Amino acid sequence: MTDDGGSQPRQPRRPKMFAPGELDAQASGGVDPAEVSEIAHETAAVLVGTGRATDDPELTRRLVSLVDELGMATVAELWAGRPAVSLPGALWRLYAIHESVRRDAAGAAADYETGRLRAGVQHAIAGAAEPPSPEALRALVDAILTGVFDGDLAVALERAAAFCRIISIGRAYRADTHDGLDEDAAAAATRSAAALLDTAQDLERAAAAWRADSLT
């Protein structure tokens, strides 16, 4: 798209990364909130409905890689402001988790390795390979998001919730290792662990709503 003066097309902005659980502060200024809400819910319903109505693996792959096509900023603008227990709110959390692991798979793998040893059944629910290498963690979040379109959506949400709980445990232990040595790092890891736990609870509630046919 060009402006009225015929200038060169604008370059897309580099998408800003958001951590799961720290997602609801995004706002859509200057637009009717009711219209924003309607667009968010309609786009989420169309995306999920389209993905679940086809057996085309290439389309599923493109839906999983939606951030690559739209950019994280656009996905955030669409869905970040919606309630956690809503279809757009749940999708936003799933895509944010997916993107955060893609951006720092090594860090996620380290936290997962620490957390899984203390997470009990959550590791089985998440379904990660052992040991959870960066490649295995990327494959896991791909599989979770793929399940939104070709599996049981509630199960996909529960797997994502278990994943967040495990990472949260690992991150909390990482905070302990920084305690007394690097207070800023300890505080940041503690906040992130708490945010991930909130995200896990949101996803579990969304899964229950989907099963009750009330996730819209």
The domain tally of the chain equals: 1
Q: Is residue 54 part of a domain?
A: yes
Q: Is residue 184 part of a domain?
A: yes
Q: Is residue 14 part of a domain?
A: no
What is the pLDDT, as a whole number, of residue 30? 54
Neighbours of 29 (CB within 10 A): 5
Residues of the chain with pLDDT under 70: 1-31, 178, 180
Q: Is residue 12 part of a domain?
A: no
- Please name the amino acid found at residue 204: E
Q: Is residue 205 part of a domain?
A: yes
77-99 pLDDT, tens digit per residue, is 999 999 999 999 999 999 999 99
What is the pLDDT, as a whole number, of residue 129? 72
- CA gap 31, 92 in Å, rounded: 20
Q: Is residue 193 part of a domain?
A: yes
Q: Is 176 exposed, middle or buried (0-12, 13-18, 19+ CB in 10 A)?
A: exposed
- The domain of 60 spans 33-211
Q: Using H for helix, E for strand and C for coil, what is the string for the chain?
A: CCCCCCCCCCCCCCCCCCCCCCCCCCCCCCCCHHHHHHHHHHHHHHHHHHHHCCCCHHHHHHHHCHHHHHCHHHHHHHHCCCCCCCHHHHHHHHHHHHHHHHHCHHHHHHHHHHHHCCCCHHHHHHCCCCCCCHHHHHHHHHHHHHHHHHCCHHHHHHHHHHHHHHHHHHHHHHHHHHCCCCHHHHHHHHHHHHHHHHHHHHHHHHHHHHHCCCCC
- CA gap 43, 95 in Å, rounded: 14
186-216 pLDDT, tens digit per residue, is 888 899 999 999 999 999 999 999 999 999 9
What is the pLDDT, as a whole number, of residue 77? 92
Q: Is residue 160 part of a domain?
A: yes
Phi, psi of 157 (to 5 degrees): -65, -40
Neighbours of 84 (CB within 10 A): 18
- CA gap 158, 86 in Å, rounded: 15
- What is the Rg, in whole angstroms, of the alpha carbon atoms belonging to the chain? 18
Neighbours of 136 (CB within 10 A): 15
